[in-house]
Amino acid sequence: MLSAENLAAIESEGRRLAIACRRNPELAVSHYPDWSLADLASHTGSILGRTAHIARDLPTEKVSAPNLPDGADPIDWYEEQLELMLEALTAADPDAPCWAFAHGSTVGFWEVRMVCEIGVHRWDAYDAHGEADRLLDLVAGLGLEEFKHLYVPMIDASGGLEVVATDLGQSWVYGEPPLTRVEGTASDLYLRFMQRTSPVDLPADWAEAVDAFGKPPKR
């Protein structure tokens, strides 16, 4: 069975995201300025729908995310996909092999990915209302660990980073020496790596590489 803590975070952050989107679906999302909160719900629902399929059917080759059906309310559809995914993850074996786009081709990869995905997009929804707060410690901590495997291999920088989450008492090494030390709360660090508003300053080559990561297409 997957981690109860991770599943609880997915559910709680997922529901908070839906509530925030329903408050004003037409609000713009700062990180995706051509998106409304309704678009954010549609995008996230697509990712959740794909994860539900993967956890349930365990495909071994790449699968596409579903699109919002014609005429469907994006927030209603998002909530339906959240329920389907929670049901599928709850019943899944975390060690079951399946397709994944990075290290750890098991259902456990998707469990962690969804904690991070939903946690950051919940932050996006609150930020659209001018109510941005810190990420959950669980979201930020898992995200900083995942970043090492998911994104760092794509970064070509002149030196590595020692990333220190001062509030969690944890650190990560990204890349090879020589190392530059970067400190902050886990939330501020992960938000910076996810190109969100943050007081954390990265070395110029790392900042350029992080900011060059593409954004997902509007769904």
Q: What is the mean pLDDT of the chain?
A: 95
Please write the tens of the pLDDT for every residue from 111-127: 999 999 999 999 999 99
Q: How far is it, in rounded angstroms, from Cα 205 to Cα 218? A: 28
Q: What residues does each domain of the chain span?
A: 4-128, 138-211
Q: Indicate whether 215 pLDDT > 90.
A: no
Q: Are 119 and 134 in contact (CB under 8 A)?
A: no
Strand order in the sheet with 170-174: 170-174, 160-165, 179-184
Q: Indicate whether 217 pLDDT > 70.
A: no
pLDDT recorded at residue 218: 46
Answer CATH for 138-211 from 2.60.40.10, 3.30.1050.20, 3.40.470.10, 3.40.50.20 = 3.30.1050.20
Residue carrying the six token digits 């994860």: 51
Q: How far is it, in rounded angstroms, from Cα 67 to Cα 47? A: 9
Answer CATH for 4-128 from 1.20.120, 2.40.50, 1.10.1760, 1.10.3470 = 1.20.120
> Is this model's pTM higher than 0.75 or not?
yes
Residue carrying the six token digits 């890349």: 175
Q: Which two tokens stand for residue 190?
A: 């992960």
Please write the tens of the pLDDT for every residue from 174-198: 999 999 999 999 999 999 999 999 9
Please write the tens of the pLDDT for every residue from 78-124: 999 999 999 999 999 999 999 998 767 999 999 999 999 999 999 99
Please write the tens of the pLDDT for every residue from 10-59: 999 999 999 999 999 999 999 998 999 999 999 999 999 999 999 999 99
Q: Which two tokens stand for residue 189?
A: 């660090």
Alpha-carbon Rg for the chain, nearest whole angstrom, is 17
Beta-bridged to residue 174, according to DSSP, are: 161
